[in-house]
Amino acid sequence: MRKLIFVLAPLVLTIGLLPSAVARAAESGSSSGSFSVGGVAPQVTAVQVYSDAACTTVASAITPQVTYYVKVTVSDANTLNDIDEVKIKTYYDATAAHPNESTITAGHEQNACIFTWTKAAPNPTWAFNAGAGSTWGIVAASSVTPTLTAQSGDWVFAIRFGKVATETIAPAVWNFHARATDHAGHSNGLHLWDKQVLWYGQCQVNTPAVNFGEVALGSGFGASTNKFTGVSVTMTANGDFSTFVKSSATWNGSLGNIATLDPTGTCVNNQEFALKAHYEDTYGVAVLVDTTGVRCRDGSQTLEAGQTITTGTFWLKVSTVFPADAYTGTITYTIVNR
């Protein structure tokens, strides 16, 4: 009988232990980012002088002491709020050589002025530098600052040229230059060439009255007869000038009588009088005064203080028939372009 033999082998099953799933919270990290926009220079794109506040009529010639409007158009990619200063220079150019504005570093009453708008809080400032000149000016109330949040706009400077800003006689001209500067010091400028400045003159009589006192009938026109001296007159001009003197045609008496000026100096008719004048008390070259004006002195450009003559002298002649009375009239000095 066959015997079955069974061999029992142990079965070993090894099961690896798998790690269990672990729940984790979401995590993130960050880095800062940055960039900068470089400043760019502003651009002055236009400069012009106008005679009206609306800036519609270009001024080809400038009269001292009259207000004009200089419009400066500026653009800036960083907006106009980036602008710290807008500056205008105007200067005399004797030969129309068009020198660069950098040669003008200060104002002068006769030949240069610097006008400046400066950004400030709460309001910008408007200023001018004309050296010793005090009759130059900028009218802040009539000047205009553009909207500074825009990228382009117009500054309008309401300015006045001084009394002795030099008259232009060809080839002479006046030039303008406008420059805008931003907070980083970037700047740009533009010239405007060849403006004319017209003649200007002013005459001020400092002596209130010429009183000959009581004179004798038929007297006068001698170096020491019926003489009044010490008349003071100040002339101010931006170019060559002549001074003229004249008298009213009649002088009125306090009692109703009338004296009539005789420009010939003969005084042959009743109640006629005549006058001679000289600015330096020199009888030999004195001129007969008429009713329209006779030239008595020539001069050249002055400073703003003017030229003052203190030795002006008059001589009086009267006819032989004159009612007793106190007569008064008007003696007038005028200044004209020469």
158, 330 contact by CB (below 8 A): no
Write the DSSP string, 226-265: SEEEEEEEEEEESS-EEEEEEE-SEEEETTS-EEEE-TTS
**Based on the domain organization, do 192 and 205 belong to the same domain?**
no
**Based on the domain organization, do 246 and 187 belong to the same domain?**
no
Separation CA 222–CA 63 (nearest Å): 44
Residue 25 confidence (pLDDT): 57
**Based on the domain organization, do 178 and 279 belong to the same domain?**
no
**Residue 92: other Cβ atoms inside 10 A:** 18
Domain span including residue 258 = 201-337
**Based on the domain organization, do 47 and 175 belong to the same domain?**
yes
Domain containing 261 — which CATH number? 2.60.40
**Based on the domain organization, do 162 and 216 belong to the same domain?**
no
197: which strand partners? 62
Residue 26 confidence (pLDDT): 60
Give the pLDDT confidence of 221-260 residue by residue, as tens digits. 999 999 999 999 999 999 999 999 999 999 999 999 999 9
Going by C-alpha positions, the residue among 171, 176, 156, 131 that lies closest to residue 305 is 131
Residue where one domain finishes, among candidates 197, 228, 259: 197
- Residue 142 inside a domain? The answer is yes
User: How confident is residue 30, by pLDDT bands cut at 50, 70 and 90?
Assistant: confident
Mean pLDDT of the 258-265 span: 98
Residue where one domain finishes, among candidates 167, 197, 227: 197
User: How confident is residue 29, by pLDDT bands cut at 50, 70 and 90?
Assistant: confident
Pairing mode, strands 258-261 and 272-278: parallel
**Based on the domain organization, do 244 and 176 belong to the same domain?**
no
- Residue 12 inside a domain? The answer is no
**Based on the domain organization, do 107 and 220 belong to the same domain?**
no
* CA angle at 335 for the pair 329 and 338, rounded to the nearest 5°: 145
The count of domains in the chain is 2
Which of 205-212's residues contact partners 24+ apart within 8 Å by CB, and which partners? 205/231, 205/232, 205/233, 205/333, 206/232, 206/233, 206/234, 206/308, 207/231, 207/232, 207/233, 207/312, 210/314, 210/331, 212/314, 212/316
196: which strand partners? 61
Distances (CA, A) of 208 to 65, 232, 331: 26, 9, 10
**Based on the domain organization, do 87 and 229 belong to the same domain?**
no
**Residue 236: other Cβ atoms inside 10 A:** 23
Give the pLDDT confidence of 137-166 residue by residue, as tens digits. 999 999 999 999 999 999 999 999 999 999
Map residue 195 onto helix, strand or coil: strand
Residue where one domain finishes, among candidates 197, 214, 245: 197
